[in-house]
Chains A and B, each alone.
Chain A
Amino acid sequence: MEEEDYKLLDQYLQDELSGDQKAAFRQRLKEEEPLAAELELRQQMHTYLRTKAQQPDLETAMKNLGGTYFSPVEKAAKIVPLARRRLYVGLSIAAAIALVLLVWNPFDSGNLYNAYAQHPPLALVEKGDALALAQQAEAAYGEKDYKTAYGLLNELTDLSSENIQLQLALGISALETGRTTKARQLFEELAEGNSALRNYGRWYLALSYLKTEEFAQAKAELQKLDDSDPALYDKATQLLEEL
């Protein structure tokens, strides 16, 4: 292969040859095996480089969707760095909510809020001082004793103010115990943030307006949902139609 051939290969790969030049080059490819082999290798290198360049975007997309369609369960007593743990918890609750939304049946209940307000489970038992408190909060929440749960979750929030799952559960408990203003403030923070639960913050903000029968506001919030979470987006679309 000549120096000139490499240049030609480059131009061919970058689609810089004219029609005639291209035809002539293709004819040479049929006749010159080393040239064809070199082209094939260059194409493979390009494929690899393009894949690598897009990898970060692909990973982000998969991470977001993974939380919706899969819900990894953490192994008990396994120590995971806090940030990762939060991500898992966030993703698993997102999936749990998606699941709840998927199995929701509109003919179950006459009241629109009750029909849609099926809350995701809570799993926040962590190691350390907050353990007993977290266990109690989880139990109360699981039994739909939102009054007790609200008190306990409030205490927990003081200990770990950055836990987004906690924040959502606290908001739900506040909503269920009539603390609408507090609930909205918590949901609003989630909705305006950048976490895995931002769409759920928005969704619950809408539900809070549904509960107080302020349908115009509920609609406005639902319309702000983005489609990064397809299951939630579908439900929101459905609810919008009913409103």
Chain B
Amino acid sequence: MQAHTDQHIIEAMRAGNFSILNKVYKDHAPTIRSWIIKNNGHEEDAQDIFQEAIIALHQKANDHSFVLTCPLGALIFRICRNKWLNQLRKKNKEAEVRNWEEERYKDESSLVPMLEAIEEEQIRQRKLDACFQQLSELCQQLLHLLISGVSSGEAAVQLGMNDANTVYRRKNACVGRWRTLYQAQN
């Protein structure tokens, strides 16, 4: 499917260019804020939910194969709506949602797969994180260094290892351990 014109926002987030969020907040935060307040929430709830949605979007944005095929506003709204309904469900207050059938955004066929992809990514990253936290301090540092573009040679110096080869072997061992922990979870 063809990328939506909002794809550039996903790409900016992927590149860590968060000034793009000025626009995202300006265009979408007021809608979410008023919807949540209308539906039994407070200002703090609205802010929390909106932030969670941005975090979820950012997680998926870092998947380089992700392509946005629906309007970003519609997607953010659905993410927030689902999150808020989940919270209300936990408090048994779902019945109090008056605007359950929000008509602002008609569901587009492309919206559902986007939403699912985002939810899957969240679950996956939560699991990966739980396993990552079980790795040794050295493994965690090493993987962080390598993903932030530090070369194996530099990483060797920073972590007091012999040479790039040691870094490479060590990294494979770390990834292997991480994989084992992760697969044991699934």
Residue B77 CB within 8 A of the other chain: no
Question: Which one of A22-30, A58-66, A190-198 contacts B?
Answer: A58-66
Minimum CB–CB distance for A68 against chain B, Å: 7
Q: With A41-B179, A66-B47, A70-B43 given, is the CB distance from A227 to B58 under 8 Å? A: no
A residues 56-86 near B (Cβ < 8 Å) are: 57-58, 60-62, 65-66, 68-73
Interface 1/0s, chain A 211-234, versus B by CB < 8 A?
Answer: 000000000000000011010000
Q: Helix, strand, loop or mixed for chain A's interface?
A: helix
Residue B162 CB within 8 A of the other chain: no
Residue A182 CB within 8 A of the other chain: no
Interface 1/0s, chain A 23-55, versus B by CB < 8 A?
Answer: 000000000000000000111111111111110
Q: With A61-B18, A62-B51 given, is the CB distance from A51 to B25 under 8 Å? A: no
Give the bracket for the number of chain B residues in contact with chain A. Answer: 35 or more
Minimum CB–CB distance for B73 against chain A, Å: 14
A60 contact set on B, CB distance < 8 A: 18
Q: Helix, strand, loop or mixed for chain B's interface?
A: helix
Minimum CB–CB distance for A203 against chain B, Å: 17
What residue of chain B has the Cβ atom nearest to residue A41's Cβ? B179
Residue B147 CB within 8 A of the other chain: yes
Does A227 lie within 8 Å of B124, measured CB to CB? no
Give the bracket for the number of chain A residues in contact with chain B. Answer: 20 to 34
Please measure, in the bound complex, the distance between the C-alpha atom of A230 and the C-alpha atom of B29, giving whole angstroms: 13
Residue A104 CB within 8 A of the other chain: no
Q: With A42-B175, A57-B16, A62-B51 given, is the CB distance from A50 to B21 under 8 Å? A: no
Residue B108 CB within 8 A of the other chain: no
A230 contact set on B, CB distance < 8 A: 22, 25-26
Interface 1/0s, chain B 153-186, versus A by CB < 8 A?
Answer: 0000000000000000000100100110010000
Could you write out 19 A-B pairs with CB less than 8 Å apart? Answer: A43-B63, A47-B63, A47-B64, A47-B121, A48-B128, A49-B143, A52-B144, A57-B16, A58-B55, A65-B25, A69-B29, A70-B33, A70-B44, A70-B46, A70-B50, A72-B47, A73-B43, A230-B22, A230-B25
User: Chain A: residues with CB nearer than 8 A to chain B?
Assistant: 6, 41-54, 57-58, 60-62, 65-66, 68-73, 227-228, 230
User: Chain B: residues with CB nearer than 8 A to chain A?
Assistant: 16, 18-19, 21-22, 25-26, 29-30, 33, 42-44, 46-47, 50-51, 54-55, 58-59, 62-65, 121, 124-125, 128-129, 132, 143-144, 147-148, 172, 175, 178-179, 182
Q: With A51-B62, A65-B22 given, can you name 15 additional A-B contacts, CB distance below 8 Å?
A: A6-B172, A41-B182, A44-B63, A47-B62, A47-B121, A49-B143, A54-B58, A58-B55, A61-B19, A65-B21, A65-B29, A69-B47, A69-B50, A73-B44, A230-B22
